[in-house]
Chain A
Amino acid sequence: MKTILFIEDETALQKTLSEVLRQEDYKVISSLDGEGGLNLAKLEKPDLILLDLILPKMNGFDVLANLKASPETKKIPVIVMTNLENLENVEKAIEAGAMTYLCKAQYSLTEILEKIKKILD
């Protein structure tokens, strides 16, 4: 069973997407803030990380930089999921090592699920 770490401070979004992912036989672990998320990533070494950008304690860009700087987590694919859809942020996240960048408001739950499945399979 593959593990997905979901770092997102919106509890409602976390609940809905996690529910769907669990039903698709993924193990979902989650954190509501950046710092906790980073610790979980190092501890659990998930197969995929879904990362929001605006987060309490440590923002998504810093989490990404830390993940990519550490040898034990740098190979884990990271999908940045946020509503800040300006091009500057997209480029910044991709440069920092994110695999892709998704604007949550633009995609349905099914579309997001399909994208995640495609990356993990």
Chain B
Amino acid sequence: MYPEKPPRQFNILGNCKKYGLSTWQCPQFLFLIMGAIIIASELTFYFLGNYYIEDPKIVILAISGLTMILFVIAFTITKGFENLAESNRMKSEFISVVSHQLRAPLSNLSWTIELIMSGRLGKIEASQLEYFKILKENNGRMKDLVSNLLTVSRLQSANLILKSKIFPLEDLLNDAIKSFWPYAKASNIEIKTNIEKNLPKVSAPPDQIKMVVENLLDNAIRYTQGKGKVTITIKKTGKNIYFSIEDSGVGVPQSDQKYLFQKFFRSENAMKRQTQGSGLGLYIAKSIIEKSKGKIGFESQENVGTTFWFTLPIKNQQGKA
């Protein structure tokens, strides 16, 4: 692996980026602001002191005292923030390193299982095949989890570079539907599309948007019990393309709705029906859509269904979003 270069002490924005925090949450930037506040309060005190207190020695003493107190307070607060930010960064780095290390053995396992199941090494009995299928399925689950963890850690450390391209969203959707068709059919779910004609192209990172669409489609099928219907709509709204996916599934309880896009959160309703899942998919979807200058949201009613939607910017004449 190639270690990152440590950012310079005075490169405040670089340090903030390293922590993956916004500027207003970044310890170095907050320390700078505190410094400015200290200087401003000293100047105020100096002018007030000069005006109300006759003896300059008392003014100097009071200003020195005030400076020290403010400095200690500022230092303690920002140090606290810095420790928090550092432990957060280390946690992300740990996830990233572990995930990378897990990837190689999981790929080995996956290819080996595939080779055995292909029958290239000799015929496999039907009873054995059943157990190899279990191995394959569980290997797939681990690979998905590792892949999600890596995406989250990259999103947090701002290492995930999103490369926007101009493409028709409906093509991406049709490909996703094709790959989900067998799963939907096996789950007794009908997928319907409602795509406006002559839609303009969107400007967004296609690989990541594919991830979002597949995740929403997977959720819609996964959390629909028995026979059901999933309706996908794509239309133009102003300067954006609007995508929505409506299911007739279990819905999200009112009390869980505000947490739905949080990392590792899984709704009670979802847990009752599906124990598998990491609670990372919607967090990743939200981060990707927002980084692509779009919006994401949902409406849901328990035991009736859920509609997830997102918007993406249409490319303008210069080809930029």
Binding site for B on A (CB under 8 A): 10, 12-13, 16-17, 19-20, 23, 54, 83-84, 86-88, 104-105, 108-110
Task: Check A86 against B159 for contact (C-beta < 8 Å).
Answer: yes
The residues of B with any CB-CB pair to A shorter than 8 Å are 1, 100, 103-104, 106-108, 110-112, 114-115, 118, 120-121, 143, 146-147, 154, 159, 161, 163
Given A23-B120, A54-B1, A83-B100, residue A16 in contact with residue B112 (CB < 8 A): yes
Main secondary structure of the interface of A (DSSP, over half): helix
Q: Please classify the interface of chain B as helix (H, G, I), strand (E, B), loop, or mixed, using the class held by over half of its residues.
A: helix
Look across to chain B and name the residue whose beta carbon is closest to the beta carbon of A11: B108
Report whether B111 and A83 are in contact in the complex, using a CB–CB cutoff of 8 Å.
Answer: no
Smallest CB gap from A61: residue in B:
B2
Q: B108: which of A10, A54, A110 is its contact (CB, 8 Å)?
A: A10
| Chain B residues in 8 Å Cβ range of A16 | 108, 111-112, 114-115
Q: Are A87 and B161 in contact (CB-based, < 8 A)?
A: yes
**In whole angstroms, how far apart are the Cα atoms of A13 and B104 in the complex?**
9
Given contacts A104-B103, A110-B114, 19 further A-B contacts (CB under 8 A): A10-B104, A10-B108, A12-B108, A13-B104, A13-B107, A16-B111, A16-B114, A16-B115, A19-B121, A83-B103, A83-B107, A86-B154, A86-B159, A87-B161, A88-B161, A105-B143, A109-B110, A109-B118, A110-B118
Contact B161 A86 (CB under 8 A): yes
B163, A87: Cβ atoms closer than 8 Å: yes
Query: Which residue among A16, A23, A87, A104 has the maximum number of chain B CB atoms within 10 Å of its CB?
Result: A16
Given contact pairs A54-B1, A88-B161, A108 touches B114 in the complex (Cβ within 8 A) = yes
